[in-house]
Amino acid sequence: MNIVVLGLSHHLSPVELRERFAFAEAKIPDALKSLRESGVATEAVILSTCNRVEIYAATPLTPDAAVIELKRFLQQWGETPGEQAGSSRRDDRTARRAVPTNIGDELYSLAEPQSLHHLFKVACGLDSMVLGETEILGQLKQAYALAHRHGHTGARLNKAFQRAFNVAKHIRTETNIQRGSVSVASVAVELAEKIFSSLNGREVMVIGAGDTSEKTARALLSRGARSIIVANRSPDRAVALAKELGGRAVQFGDWAAEFQKIDIVISSTAAPHHILDRARLEPLMKLRHHRPLLLIDIAVPRDIDPEVNFLENVYLYNIDDLQAIADDYLRLRKVEIERCEAIIAEKVKALLTAKDVQPRMGTDEHGQKMKTIYPKPSPTFGKLVSFLVSILCLTIMSLKALATDLTNEWAKANWAYKQSDFQIALSHYNEILKIDSNNVAALIGKAGAYRGLKQFDAAENACNEAIRLSSNNLSLSLAFLYRGYVHTQTTNLNQAIDDFSKAIQYNPALADAYIHRANAFLLSGAYDPAIQDCNMAIMLLPGA
């Protein structure tokens, strides 16, 4: 019995493809039942998150045959209307038209021991978009618990998953891979916890508005900060943000009057000058009886004069400080990768030895991902026949999928885009937006199409809308990335650099952002930052 894994992840497939194959949690037990009844797996677990869709199966078949069957299962699942996660948001007509695109290189499959290695890596956060993130472990535990509760796991997967959870715990305690925060908001909270004994009851003021300042405020609230006061030039925006954060709004000109009670200030205005300097802060500190004050200045240009850091009990951090800490944490995590890989290799070996199971596939210790769309031929007659049959099946399936793909708006839009028919692509993206007006991916696609048509203002507007509607870091980072492209093309290099920086802030592993920011630095004559960004891009994508 071999454990195999088949899946899509953020590494190889875009979100438009992953969402096609995502499993709604309510449907997973049925999917597992169907999978086991088909005979391809005796035990199975399905992991479906925003960044990956994976099927772990203990199979009596050979790994090659099992992978073919799993792929068929996955494609059939993706073709069935209403089965995908979030499909309840679409109407029936759309669900019937929501046919998956042809998945090829985006899919990966692994057999033992690489499948176990992969499982352990996923559990430890080593395969995540944000290296070392801990959310995936919880998601993996939930996926396993769901399968286990419905009786779809057995001795093989139980042992493998339990061991994976133990390995994740071991790595968390023995290494720094999960140490620290890699987002600006989390770094700000960590700093606050280094200054104040407790964040419970601390008063926070947000001056101005911005996504990062809002995220930081939320992070502080989640750690016990008492109340939020919002001051913004736009009273409506201040009231709206205060309402969202459970605080109150004050007039922008009155923020200094609130200073006596405040412990933490998050500043992110569009003011071209300093709104707070040493001369203004000194008397305010006296009013506060010199209690510690944390100032987080996220604005560019800076809102707060750096000289205030020399005042007693004042701790000032600007966006570069926070980003540098987040980057350093990420670098520390990267340094730990090799150590974690060594621990994982040792644990996989121990697991295999304990089960007295020899891996069915080759003992390639580097764990190369194999693309099994075209299975490797084998000298034996039986395997040769199996190979020819699978090729025939795949060809038929691909032609069928291609025919149905053409009726799908997404496929048409992407196809047109690839062919540089930007006007046609634009019309299809607009069709998608008519059905789902909040579709951020379509807005980003539109921005790309407008860029192709050299309509940069429209492209920028589409990006701004995408930024406004984005609800997760991935889409935010892509929206900023595309806006950065637009600004580069309009030679607005400072703005481009700022956008690429924001893209990196939301997704530190986004190599394209580093590459294009390096380009913008180069064009503006800043060679050292350009080199640093190129080095970072090379680190993220060795082939870049």
Binding residues for other proteins (CB under 8 A):
179-180, 187, 190-191, 193-197, 289-292, 309, 312-313, 315, 317, 321, 324-325, 328, 332
Q: How far is the CB of 508 from other proteins (least distance, A)?
A: 15
Sign of the dihedral through C-alpha 292, 296, 302, 303: negative
Q: Which is nearer to other proteins, 73 or 317 (CB)?
A: 317
Q: Which is nearer to other proteins, 108 or 317 (CB)?
A: 317
Q: Which of 50, 124, 340, 534 is catalytic?
A: 50
Q: How far is the CB of 343 from other proteins (least distance, A)?
A: 17
Q: Which is nearer to other proteins, 46 or 204 (CB)?
A: 204
CA–CA separation, 100 vs 408, rounded Å?
A: 9
Q: How far is the CB of 120 from other proteins (least distance, A)?
A: 24
Grouping H, G, I as helix, E, B as strand and the rest as coil, residue 265 is: strand
Angle at which helices 319-335 and 493-506 cross, to 10°: 50
Q: Which is nearer to other proteins, 216 or 488 (CB)?
A: 216
Q: How far is the CB of 311 from other proteins (least distance, A)?
A: 9
Rounded to a whole number of angstroms, the CA Rg of the chain reads 26
Determine whether 138 is exposed, middle or buried from the number of CB atoms within 10 Å of its CB (0-12, 13-18, 19+): exposed
Is residue 29 a contact partner of residue 152, using CB atoms and an 8 Å limit? yes
Task: Produce one character per residue of 345-383: b if its CB has 16 or more CB atoms within 10 Å, e if not.
Answer: bebbeebbeeeebebbbeeeeebeebebbebeeeeeeeb
Is residue 465 a contact partner of residue 484, using CB atoms and an 8 Å limit? no
Q: Which is nearer to other proteins, 24 or 332 (CB)?
A: 332
Q: How far is the CB of 321 from other proteins (least distance, A)?
A: 5
Task: Tell me whether residue 340 is one of the annotated catalytic residues.
Answer: no
Angle at 391 between CA 385 and CA 394, to 5 degrees: 140
* Look-up of token digits 């899919």: 107
Q: Which is nearer to other proteins, 149 or 169 (CB)?
A: 169
Q: Which is nearer to other proteins, 309 or 461 (CB)?
A: 309
CA–CA separation, 123 vs 51, rounded Å?
A: 14
Helix residue ranges per DSSP H, 406-439: 409-418, 422-435
Q: How far is the CB of 289 from other proteins (least distance, A)?
A: 4
CA–CA separation, 21 vs 16, rounded Å?
A: 9
Grouping H, G, I as helix, E, B as strand and the rest as coil, residue 276 is: strand
Q: How far is the CB of 388 from other proteins (least distance, A)?
A: 58
Give the pair of three-digit tokens for residue 534. 């190129």
CA 437 to chain centre: 22
Beta bridge partners of 8: 53, 107
Q: How far is the CB of 344 from other proteins (least distance, A)?
A: 22
CA–CA separation, 303 vs 268, rounded Å?
A: 7
Q: How far is the CB of 313 from other proteins (least distance, A)?
A: 6
Grouping H, G, I as helix, E, B as strand and the rest as coil, residue 317 is: strand
Measured in degrees and rounded to the nearest 5, phi and psi for residue 259 equal -65, -25
Beta bridge partners of 228: 204
Angle at 472 between CA 470 and CA 475, to 5 degrees: 60
CA–CA separation, 444 vs 273, rounded Å?
A: 33
Task: Produce one character per residue of 435-460: b if its CB has 16 or more CB atoms within 10 Å, e if not.
Answer: eeeebbbbbbbbbbbbbbeebbebbb
* Look-up of token digits 């004994």: 197
Q: Which is nearer to other proteins, 176 or 461 (CB)?
A: 176
Q: Which is nearer to other proteins, 198 or 368 (CB)?
A: 198
Q: By C-alpha distance, which of 128, 544, 46 is closest to 340?
A: 128
Q: Which is nearer to other proteins, 304 or 466 (CB)?
A: 304
How would you classify residue 299: left for phi > 0, otherwise alpha for psi between -120 and 50, otherwise beta? beta
Q: How far is the CB of 169 from other proteins (least distance, A)?
A: 17
Q: Catalytic residue numbers?
A: 50
